[in-house]
Amino acid sequence: MPARSGTSSSSMHTAASFSSSFMDGSPSRQSPNRNGVARPHRESLVRDPYESPSRQMALEFNLRLSMSDRDFNEKLDQAAAERAKLHAEQLARATEEHERVRRGAELEIQRILLEEEQAKARREEAQKREIERLRHEKAREEAEAHRRALEARRREEEAARQTAEHHKKLQEAEARLRAQKDQEAAAERQKKDQVDADRKAAEAAAAAQKARAQLAPQQPAPQTTPAPAAAPTTATPLKPSANAQSPTANVDQIHAKYLELHLRMKQFRIAFWNEHKKPQSPLKQPVGDARRALRTRLGQINVERKDSVAAIKRLREECFDMALNSQGPMIDIRPYIVAHEIPPLANEAEAAYPAFLLYVWICFEKFLLKQFEKEAANEDGRIIQEIGLIAASLLGDQKYMWKGIPLTDIVLAKLHRACPPLFGVRGTMNTAEGRIRLGWMPDSTLDAYNQRLRGVGAGYAAMSLRTFASKAPALPISEYWRAIVLLCNTPPEHLWPGHFAILNGLIRDYYKKFLSFYGVPARGVLRRATIDLPARAPERCKDAAGTVSVLPEGWKKEKFFLD
C-alpha cells in the first residue's frame, strides 16, 4: 500500500505553481527599475506581495483546494485501507476454508484408502477361503470319482459275471428245452411206432379172423375196432392275465417262457441278418431297407394324427407288406407263440410263416421299446400315445397274423425282458442277480433304468387301452387292469423305485381312458395306486412314490377327485 502524505500531488503542484509564478519571478518584474538601476529607497511601507486581495483569495482558494484534495485522498486511502482489510479478511477466511477442505479431503482419502485396504483384505480372505473350499471339493470329487470308478468296475465285473451266468442259464434252459423237445419227439415216434404196431397187429388179427371165417363160414366174422389216430400236438396255452389278483409261481413260469422266447428271437434275428447281409443273398437290399425304414419311421412320429396315419401307411408299405410279399424262406411259427393255443393243423406246412416278416416283427419291437424309452424323457406323453396306436394297429391287422393269431408274443417277450415288474415279477435291487431279474441292463444307470420303465409303462397303456371298430385289439384292455393290480398288490418288501416309475407311465396320461372303460372300479384302483400304495412304500421308494402320489392333485384341477 502507498505511503500516505499530508498533501496530494495536485495541491503541491498548485502551491509550487503559485510560489514560482510569484516569488520566483524575474528581477525585472519584481523591481520597478527594469534597467537594473537601483532606485533610491523610499521610506514608504514595503508592501507584502501576498497582501494583495486577489492573491490572498488565490492563496486561500489554493489552500482550501489543497485541503479538499487532502481530505479526498484521505478518504480514498481510508476506503482503500478498508477494502484491503476486507480483502485480507476474505483471503484469511478463504485460506481457512481451503485448509478445512484440504483437511477433509485428506481425511476422506485416508478413509477411502482404509476401506480399500479392508476390502482388499476381505477379498484376499474370501479368495483364500474359496481356494481352500475348491481344494477340499476337488479332493472330495477325486475321492468320489475314485470310489465311483471302483464301484463301476465292481458293478461291471459283477454284471459281466451275472450276464455270463444268465447266458449260461439261458443256454441250459435252451438245452433243456431242446432235450424236452427231443424227448417229446421220441415219445411221439414211439407212439407212432406203437400205433403202427397196433395197426399191424389188428391187421394180422383181421387176417387170422378172415382165415378162420373161411374155415368156418357158419360163424359170423368179429368186428374189428380201428386204432385211434394220433392227436395233433398243440402248444400249452399260457394266459398272462389269469393271475392278476394273486401272483404265484405261475408268474415266474410264464416269465421264463417269455425269456426263452426272447432268446430264440435274438438268435433268429442275428442268424437271419448274417445270412441275408451277404452280397449273394437276393434279400440283402430289402432286409436292409426294411430295417432302416423301421428305425426312421418310428423316429418321425409326432402328435399330429395325420402324420401318424401317414407313418402307419409307410410302415406297412415299406416294411411289413414288402416282407410279406417277398419270395423268401419260411419258418415254423409255433415256437414263437406262447400265450395262444395252437389250432389243429392238417400238416406241417400250415405252420409256415414268412421268415422275413418275422424278422421285421422282431426289429419292430426292438425299435418300438427304444422309442418308448426315448420319449419318456419328455413331459408331453402324446408321442408315446401315437406310437402305441401304431403298434396296436399293426398287431391287430389280420394280414400279418398267422391263422388269426396276432404276434403279440413277440412284443410281450421284449417287454418281459425290459420291464419284468410290469408282469408281477419280484426281486431285489440289492444284488446284481436281483437287478438283472428286475430288468436291469449291464450298462444301465438308475435314471436310465427308471426312464425305460416309465416309457414301457406308458407304451403298454397306449397299446392296451384301445378299441377298434372293425377288429379286436391285439392286447386286451384287461391286460392294463392286470398290470396295475399286480403293481398295487406288491408287498412293501418287494417295492422299489422302478415300480412307481411304471405306475407313473401307466396312469399319468391314461387315467381318463381307464375310467371310461371301467368306471367306478377304475376309481378304486386309481386310489390304491396313487394314495394307498405310496403311503405304505418303504423309505427307499419315498422320492419315486412322490411322483405318483402328486397325480391326484393335478387331477383336481380337472374336477376329478378320488376322495
What is the CA 477 to chain-centroid distance, rounded? Answer: 32
Q: Are residues 276 and 372 in the same domain?
A: yes
Q: Could you list the residue range(s) of the whole structural domain that residue 462 is in? A: 246-556
Write the pLDDT tens digit of every residue in 139-149. Answer: 888 888 888 78
Predicted local distance difference test score (pLDDT) of residue 216: 41
CB-hemisphere CA count at 13 Å for 8?
19
Q: Are residues 414 and 496 in the same domain?
A: yes
Q: Which residue has the cell 423309505?
A: 539
Q: Are residues 157 and 86 in the same domain?
A: no
Predicted local distance difference test score (pLDDT) of residue 54: 85
Q: Which residue has the cell 407288406?
A: 321
- Note whether residue 218 is domain-resident: no
Asked if residue 251 lies in contact with residue 423, where contact means CB atoms within 8 angstroms, the answer is yes
From residue 296, give the alpha-carbon distance in Å to each of 290, 292, 311, 318. Answer: 10, 6, 10, 11
- Note whether residue 241 is domain-resident: no
Q: Which residue has the cell 416282407?
A: 323
- Note whether residue 488 is domain-resident: yes
Phi and psi for 353 in degrees, rounded to 5? -145, 140
Portion of the chain with pLDDT greater than 90, in percent: 48
Query: Taking 80 as the threshold, does the pLDDT of residue 560 lie above it?
Result: yes
Query: Taking 60 as the threshold, does the pLDDT of residue 531 lie above it?
Result: yes
Predicted local distance difference test score (pLDDT) of residue 452: 94
Domain end residue (candidates: 171, 195, 219): 195
Across 14-28, 348-362, 511-525, 529-543, least confident range: 14-28
Predicted local distance difference test score (pLDDT) of residue 47: 54
Q: Are residues 145 and 101 in the same domain?
A: no
Contacts of 56 (CB under 8 A, 6+ apart): 50
Q: Are residues 145 and 288 in the same domain?
A: no
pLDDT band at 391 (very low <50, low <70, confident <90, very high): very high
Across 129-133, 415-419, 469-473, 490-494, least confident range: 469-473
Predicted local distance difference test score (pLDDT) of residue 197: 61
Predicted local distance difference test score (pLDDT) of residue 230: 30
- Note whether residue 44 is domain-resident: no
- Note whether residue 165 is domain-resident: yes
* Opening angle at CA 27, ends 23 and 31, nearest 5: 100
Predicted local distance difference test score (pLDDT) of residue 302: 83
Q: Are residues 344 and 474 in the same domain?
A: yes
Query: Taking 90 as the threshold, does the pLDDT of residue 410 lie above it?
Result: yes
Q: Are residues 288 and 161 in the same domain?
A: no
Predicted local distance difference test score (pLDDT) of residue 27: 44
Highest-confidence segment of 94-103, 162-171, 225-234, 297-306: 94-103
Phi and psi for 234 in degrees, rounded to 5? -130, 150
Q: Are residues 274 and 148 in the same domain?
A: no
Write the pLDDT tens digit of every residue in 415-459. Answer: 999 999 999 999 999 999 999 999 998 888 999 999 999 999 999
Portion of the chain with pLDDT greater than 70, in percent: 76
Q: Higher pLDDT residue, 563 or 280?
A: 280
Q: Are residues 394 and 518 in the same domain?
A: yes
Predicted local distance difference test score (pLDDT) of residue 226: 32
The domain total for the chain is 3
- Note whether residue 152 is domain-resident: yes
Average pLDDT rounded to a whole number, residues 534-552 = 92
Predicted local distance difference test score (pLDDT) of residue 29: 43
Write the pLDDT tens digit of every residue in 151-210. Answer: 777 777 776 776 667 667 667 766 776 776 666 666 666 666 666 666 655 665 555 555
| Radius of gyration over every alpha carbon of the chain, rounded to an integer in angstroms | 60
- Note whether residue 216 is domain-resident: no
Domain end residue (candidates: 154, 172, 195): 195
Domain end residue (candidates: 156, 176, 195): 195
Predicted local distance difference test score (pLDDT) of residue 3: 43
Write the pLDDT tens digit of every residue in 83-137. Answer: 999 999 999 999 999 999 999 999 999 999 999 999 999 999 998 988 988 888 8
Predicted local distance difference test score (pLDDT) of residue 331: 93
Average pLDDT rounded to a whole number, residues 303-318 = 84
pLDDT band at 235 (very low <50, low <70, confident <90, very high): very low
Write the pLDDT tens digit of every residue in 72-85. Answer: 999 999 999 999 99
- Note whether residue 456 is domain-resident: yes
Average pLDDT rounded to a whole number, residues 317-322 = 92
Q: Are residues 400 and 478 in the same domain?
A: yes
CB-hemisphere CA count at 13 Å for 269?
18
Predicted local distance difference test score (pLDDT) of residue 190: 67
Query: Taking 50 as the threshold, does the pLDDT of residue 9 lie above it?
Result: no
Mean pLDDT of all residues in the chain?
80
Across 215-219, 249-253, 450-454, 522-526, least confident range: 215-219
Single-letter residue type at 476: P
Q: Are residues 92 and 145 in the same domain?
A: no
pLDDT band at 211 (very low <50, low <70, confident <90, very high): very low
Predicted local distance difference test score (pLDDT) of residue 492: 92
Query: Taking 80 as the threshold, does the pLDDT of residue 324 lie above it?
Result: yes
Model's pTM, two decimal places? 0.57
Q: Are residues 101 and 172 in the same domain?
A: no
